[in-house]
Amino acid sequence: MKTADRLLLHQLEDLEIAIAELRRVFPEAVRSAEDAFPRTPTGSPVRSSSLSDPTASAALDPRRRARANNVKLARRRTKGAVVALREALAHATLAADGG
């Protein structure tokens, strides 16, 4: 077996580890991105004016937007990885069949 082939087998092991980690982390990332109101520390809230609009604050929160964008990016990258892995499997199958 060539070095490149052994490297591929190690990369497959890395993929298995990454998949397990993504399965563990992704649900919490989605919950965090969908959380309408950011967690506030205990104590009295600080207001900059007498009018408080928590809905607007949640919608305009740049941290919430960044979390949502990271979830979208994770979805896109996972879909791309699945497509690439299926293509690799198809090519390996063709090679195994002598094609």
- pLDDT higher at 46 or 93: 93
What pTM was computed for the model? 0.70
Identify the residue whose tokens are 């205990």: 42
Look up residue 92 and give its amino acid: A
- Over residues 44-88, the pLDDT tens digits come to 555 555 666 666 766 678 888 899 999 999 999 999 999 999 999
Q: What is the 3-state secondary structure (H, E, C) of 37-64?
A: CCCCCCCCCCCCCCCCCHHHHHHHCHHH
- Over residues 21-44, the pLDDT tens digits come to 999 999 999 998 888 665 555 555
Nearest to 15 by CA among 89, 90, 96, 97: 89
SS3 35: coil
